[in-house]
Amino acid sequence: MLRLGTREFGGHEPVIMAIVNRTPDSFYDQGATFTDAPALERVERAVAEGAAIIDVGGVKAGPGEEVSAQEEIRRTVGFVAEVRRRHPDVVISVDTWRHEVGEAVCEVGADLLNDAWGGVDPRLAEVAAKHGVGLVCTHAGGARPRTRPHRVGYEDVMADILKVTVDLAERAAALGVRRDAILIDPGHDFGKNTRHSLEATRRLPEMTATGWPVLVSLSNKDFVGETLDRPVKERLIGTLATTAVSAWLGAQVYRVHEVAETRQVLDMVASIAGHRPPAVARRGLA
């Protein structure tokens, strides 16, 4: 059982986390939701299409203009408060590696801290424990925030992923973060080349075997683009294929840009696996 905010998710229940970028320079939407009105419209649409979690990010993952903690707070806190007011039961996640930002967003209603940079600020887990919120523990290969991998190598990439994420999860639990509010994430693209991310995907059962729920952030990423030789805006099919494989292999939470398409893929996989009945079943019955 995964418990985040007011929501509980069963072990076979796939969960969609919709990305809402509060940045002017996102790799995917180039700032389309940087201002309040379109960002709030994005939230409304994502919830209507089946997202249970809204993931708010105030700094893009890749290199770019420096963003201070104060600016990141400015971009996220008021928005989180407004989403909380409009959607009391939606799970609000904030994508940050900074404890100062985590503290500020938890005070206005965030339910989950999505630490995509692998515990680079160890105080973030302490903030999650203090406020009783969840935590995503990600493998980033020791990379510093907002840097790209360079000649990165692993003797065994999944062994490294398991060591890092499980250690981070156990540390968080020891600090007081509820065990049923901790997720682990292999960190596709973060501190990895394309072959590493592909291997992490096909070896997801090793992560699910740990007992921690697994979150995957696959949406339109570079490993999809390189695998198919497609630019950012032509990676949806590859993303959905990777989503289907990840669902079959046991991942539970999916951080995505395209909610409606992801919902259909996850529902189809769940029905094939026997965890969800067909929405309609008339064929051959009349």
Which of the residues 255, 263, 276, 283 is marked catalytic? 255
Which of the residues 22, 75, 192, 221 is marked catalytic? 221
Nearest CA among 85, 74, 84 for reference residue 96? 74
Rounded Cα distance, 146 and 116, in Å: 10
275's tokens: 């965890």
The DSSP line for 228-273 is: HT--GGG-HHHHHHHHHHHHHTT--EEEES-HHHHHHHHHHHHHHH
Bridge partners of residue 114, in order along the sequence? 95, 136
Assess whether 255 carries a catalytic annotation. yes
Contact 253, 214 (CB under 8 A): yes
Rounded Cα distance, 139 and 156, in Å: 13
User: Which distant-in-sequence residues (6+ apart) come within 8 Å of 80 by Cβ?
Assistant: 56, 92, 94, 105, 108, 109, 110
Tokens 């940087």: give the residue.
34
Assess whether 130 carries a catalytic annotation. no
User: Which distant-in-sequence residues (6+ apart) come within 8 Å of 202 by Cβ?
Assistant: 245, 249
152's tokens: 């990165």
Cα 78 to the chain's mean position, in Å?
21
Q: Which amino acid is at 70?
A: Q
End-to-end CA distance of the chain: 39
Residues annotated as part of the active site: 221, 255
